[in-house]
Structure 1
């Protein structure tokens, strides 16, 4: 189910930009600082939801409410035993009939994923969109939080040294990506975490998003 918006990126890029141990990778003219904080993303096909009236219809004329998640942001504290991430995001909606005040409650999830596929924690929440009489649009802000054991997001010392070792032009392995070593690649993947946020959709809603 969880196919992130960054799923097409190479593992090396995810390892650099995502979460793992502190340190720097120095390659030919490039220095990248790494953090223990997890990357955040909205999984593909879960960032919006469409409600129909009647619920069993999929005709465009039956669309009742459309909502989407945007502006997903995170603040992170990596100073303790656990890396704490607090997320905020906006939920915006549009309804087809502006008559009468109405509240639409939508369920959402936040998950912690290790290594790109292993879900280690999941929480459910609910967010309410309040449409005033005569208004077609509504928006609100929602929150989520997650924690990752810092030791789990830290590379073993030998792997860290191999990844962060300075490589200078002229060295025999200067052009070699350290992640080409299977042991390094597996260790980095194991220490890589993401926090994913999206609407908690039914199978029918997921199918609609994937095939429309």
Structure 2
């Protein structure tokens, strides 16, 4: 009776933190913290060589969700995570075609915020005919963390966001979160 009451609470806490277990054995697996800094959650691209205004927007995109699933690795010596991103994108009036490239990254940080590993990705996407808005999802990315006596899931942090140029990052910081 008591276990039946605790399991939904554990499951709810894990879903809120972005970790969705797939088996009952995984209910007690803790996921690393998942962060999406607000200044890396938006991407606005302008036509090259043009001043940034509404008429020169090529692409305006935002991260709408980060899906994470954690499970025990082999012999309980690792924690395996699967991460995927969901984006909403708007085609600007200066877009040369319906095809776009969405650059994003995933980084693993240690407890002192040192980058342990970093991977960059480019998601090719396409707007449908006569549409200016679309939702797309990345392919799942698998990462593994060593765990054991001295390392725990809480010793890591996963950071995700758009891969921005310096100008795009400065624009996001001036504009603030949307």
Structure 1 position 46 matched with structure 2 position 40 = yes
Shift of 1:107: 1.5
**Matched residue count:** 148
Q: TM-score, normalised by structure 1?
A: 0.61
Cross-structure match for 1:209: 172
Q: TM-score, normalised by structure 2?
A: 0.71
C-alpha distance in 2, partners of 1:207/1:36? 35
Shift of 1:72: 0.7
Q: Partner of 2:40: helix, strand, or coil?
A: coil
C-alpha distance in 2, partners of 1:128/1:193? 29
Q: Partner of 2:38: helix, strand, or coil?
A: coil
Shift of 1:98: 9.5
Cross-structure match for 1:150: 147
Moved more, 52-61 or 127-136: 52-61
Over the aligned positions, Cα root-mean-square deviation in angstroms equals 2.8
Change (3 A) 1:98 1:52: closer
Return the match for 2:78 from 82, 93, 101. Answer: 82
Change (3 A) 1:110 1:44: same
> Does the CA-based 8 Å contact 2:57-2:95 persist in structure 1?
no
Larger radius of gyration: 1
Cross-structure match for 1:113: 109
Structure 2 stretches lacking a partner, 5+ long: 1-16, 19-26
Change (3 A) 1:101 1:54: closer
Structure 1 position 134 matched with structure 2 position 112 = no
C-alpha distance in 1, partners of 2:173/2:95? 31
Change (3 A) 1:203 1:98: closer
Structure 1 position 193 matched with structure 2 position 132 = no
C-alpha distance in 1, partners of 2:112/2:124? 30
